[in-house]
Structure 1
Amino acid sequence: MAEALGLFALGLLVLALGGDSAVKGVSGLAQRLGMRPFAAGLLLLAFGTSIPELAVNLRAMWQQQPHLALGNAVGSNVVNLGLTLGLAALAAPLVLRARVLVPMLVLLAVATFALMAFGLDGYVGRVEGAVLLLGFLAVAAFVLRHGAREDAEVQAEVVAFASTRTGLLQNLLRLAVAAVALYFGARWVVGGGLELGQRLGLTPLMVGLLPVAVGTALPEIAAAVAAARRGQGDMVAGHVIGSSLFNLLAIVGGMALAQPLALPASFVKFELPAVLVLVLLVYPLLRSGRRITQQEGGILCLAFLAWAVLELLLFL
């Protein structure tokens, strides 16, 4: 038990280091190849933090553990919207100035509904996976187009986020380090997580939904809390919503395109509706005062805890 827990924790640490190195390497190379810092920063802000989840899911699929991968993809969204956003708001009220956040949240609701509809027959096939992937490309184009209309202050924050050295060798080295770290980190997280699940009586789906989803989100939670204290509410919300879109559209879509997925019955009846409930909780906060207060952050955290408890009570 202790060995599995240690392996799992080490894997999470190595994954975090690999994800950070990958984001910096991709940003540096993209800007060297001519992409504007704002465009690079916007895409990395929205989707870059899902790199550890992607590595874990690829490893899980390689080990024929699709339920762990699905649990991680959808569980990460519940963690993003409930725990990450909630803890960041508890640390400091989140002031939201970026106009693109509300339509991105609406797109997240649409993506969740689409996956629920695709899964009504218990499967997500290759054609449906391709539709999800095309949806991700459309969302990326939408983010780039509408992000360019943001106020100068918001754009300056995004450019600062993407700021990194653009030397070719340095960024190639970053990507090489990232590849090694993500490979071993994902291997240890999946192996340690499955062994922990066996010891605790958790199914692979539950392992993905709870310990793996929460564990891979810990670096993002720490970064979100730090950003909230610096007054960068747009960065926090952009990470949360963008990462959730990437999980549903790119990760689940890519998995289904590679291999048709059998969805657990609880996905359509409980896990995906839980994501929708959290979207509905966050939507009025973004629409009304453009601010998420500490009290509202506490409500989001309680919603996450209620979901986690219900998962354990209903499906153990």
Structure 2
Amino acid sequence: MVVPSSTVALVGLFLVGVVLVIWCVEIFIEAVAQSAVSLGVSGFFLAVVLAGVDLENAVLGITAAFVELPRLALGTVFGESLFVLAVAVGLAGVLVPFRMDVPSAYLVLLVLVPVPAFALSIGGTIDPLEGAALLGLFVPLLAYIFWHERRSETTYLLSAELQEVVDLEADAESEAAVQTGAETETGMPNGGDESRVQPTGESDPELDLDLDEFVPSFEHRSGLFNLGVAVLAVVGMTVGSGVTVVSAEGIFVAFGISGLAFGATVLSFIASIEELALTVEPVRQSRPELAVGNVVGSTVFYLTANVGIIAMLHPVGTGGDVLTVHWPFLAGSLLVVTAMLARGRVTRIGGIALFALYVAYWIANYA
């Protein structure tokens, strides 16, 4: 089949838009983090907030809902949630099987956090008022995680791209220990607990999935300058997300697929690539607690605030494939991940099972 040149152009615009969004989000995170350090805002609190918020997904989902494509927006929620659980955790399990003791409170949270959104989905529609309730639920959940971290010995909240920023607040002795290869948990206000971090495999080849090399450093800039850069990054995100959503609509119309399926597979897959870095890299560097923090924070955000904001902008239909395809696969992946974390072991067999679930999810979307 010959693909029309107009469709090729739409695909090109789509990719340009996604890359622009991701790049602007990286700049935004770097600028906000550095401005917080410069202005004296707690780096730990900043890490707590940003670790649980996937800005790429939020921007794309909000734009899709704003232009009245709520099914595309909802697809990104399911797609990115499944990507984090099945692909990111699965790849970590396959490459670097590891052991760790995850607090039971976070295991319970992983299992229960989808319940409110699922209960609202049974009715066939999540309306703006119900969306506001889901958004409101995100705040106390985030506050609970923050409270739990403040009273625990090991931090599970720091995302990989923020580690350097929080490390700026560490004392000189801790920084020296890191430079000499000592296993010191710098950047964590309550220290580390080696008994909870027990990698089981040998060191794997270097796997650098971080995109920081494409982001300029704002370390020596003033706080106000960095805030200005953050504002410009928001403008770039808006332009990029607009291009992405408009071209995505043309693509799934041209190929005769649903916006829900496209958002849950293609759009989410491309926009989520960096989640591999946030999950696999900490595990490879013997810091799996950071990966767990990313999984917990992202899952809480996707299934409360993200769904809530989308529904507030436009009522979301949750019948049909949402109940028969997307929720079952999300529940299955979540249960597999939670079961492995509850046993304290993420294994290669478990990682392969998660990959198989994700492949089946793609097939179910296009069957």
Compute the TM-score of the two structures, normalised by the length of structure 1: 0.88
AA aligned to 1:303 is L
Aligned pairs for 1:1-316 within 5 A: 1-32=7-38, 34-47=40-53, 50-97=54-101, 99=103, 102-151=104-153, 160-163=163-166, 165=219, 167-289=222-344, 291-313=345-367
Alpha-carbon distance between aligned partners in 2 of 1:193 and 1:261, rounded to the nearest angstrom = 18
Alpha-carbon distance between aligned partners in 2 of 1:265 and 1:124, rounded to the nearest angstrom = 14
- Sort the Cα spacing of 1:241 and 1:288 in 2 relative to 1 into closer, same or farther, 3 A: same
Q: Does the Cα contact within 8 Å between 2:21 and 2:240 map onto a contact in 1?
A: yes
How far does the alpha carbon of each residue in 1:48-89 deviate from its partner, in whole angstroms, 9 at most, with x for none? xx1011111121122111110011112211111111211232
* Between 257-266 and 5-14, the greater mean CA deviation after superposition: 257-266
Residue 34 of structure 1 and its aligned partner are, at CA, apart by: 4.5
Gaps of 5+ in 2: 1-6, 169-218
Alpha-carbon distance between aligned partners in 1 of 2:92 and 2:236, rounded to the nearest angstrom = 27
AA aligned to 2:68 is Q
AA aligned to 1:230 is Q
Residue 35 of structure 1 and its aligned partner are, at CA, apart by: 3.7
Q: Does the Cα contact within 8 Å between 2:66 and 2:314 map onto a contact in 1?
A: no
Alpha-carbon distance between aligned partners in 1 of 2:316 and 2:251, rounded to the nearest angstrom = 24
Say what the alpha-carbon RMSD is for the aligned residues.
2.4
Alpha-carbon distance between aligned partners in 2 of 1:137 and 1:161, rounded to the nearest angstrom = 26
- Sort the Cα spacing of 1:227 and 1:192 in 2 relative to 1 into closer, same or farther, 3 A: farther
Residue 31 of structure 1 and its aligned partner are, at CA, apart by: 4.3
Q: For 1:121, what is the secondary structure of its paired residue?
A: coil
How far does the alpha carbon of each residue in 1:122-146 deviate from its partner, in whole angstroms, 9 at most, with x for none? 1112332222112100111011011
Q: Does the Cα contact within 8 Å between 2:65 and 2:313 map onto a contact in 1?
A: no
AA aligned to 2:73 is A
Residue 282 of structure 1 and its aligned partner are, at CA, apart by: 0.9
Q: Does the Cα contact within 8 Å between 1:98 and 1:150 map onto a contact in 2?
A: no
Gaps of 5+ in 1: none
Alpha-carbon distance between aligned partners in 1 of 2:67 and 2:58, rounded to the nearest angstrom = 14
- Higher helix residue share: 1
* Between 82-91 and 204-213, the greater mean CA deviation after superposition: 82-91
Alpha-carbon distance between aligned partners in 1 of 2:238 and 2:360, rounded to the nearest angstrom = 33
AA aligned to 1:28 is Q
AA aligned to 2:117 is L
Q: Does the Cα contact within 8 Å between 1:76 and 1:244 map onto a contact in 2?
A: no
Q: Does the Cα contact within 8 Å between 1:88 and 1:236 map onto a contact in 2?
A: no
How far does the alpha carbon of each residue in 1:216-255 deviate from its partner, in whole angstroms, 9 at most, with x for none? 1012224433333222322222212311221111111122
- Sort the Cα spacing of 1:84 and 1:152 in 2 relative to 1 into closer, same or farther, 3 A: closer
Instruction: Find the structure with the greater CA-based Rg.
Output: 2
* Between 128-137 and 190-199, the greater mean CA deviation after superposition: 190-199
Compute the TM-score of the two structures, normalised by the length of structure 2: 0.76
Q: Does the Cα contact within 8 Å between 1:95 and 1:231 map onto a contact in 2?
A: no
Q: Does the Cα contact within 8 Å between 2:159 and 2:294 map onto a contact in 1?
A: no
AA aligned to 1:132 is L
Query: Percent same amino acid at aligned positions?
Result: 23
Alpha-carbon distance between aligned partners in 1 of 2:64 and 2:138, rounded to the nearest angstrom = 22
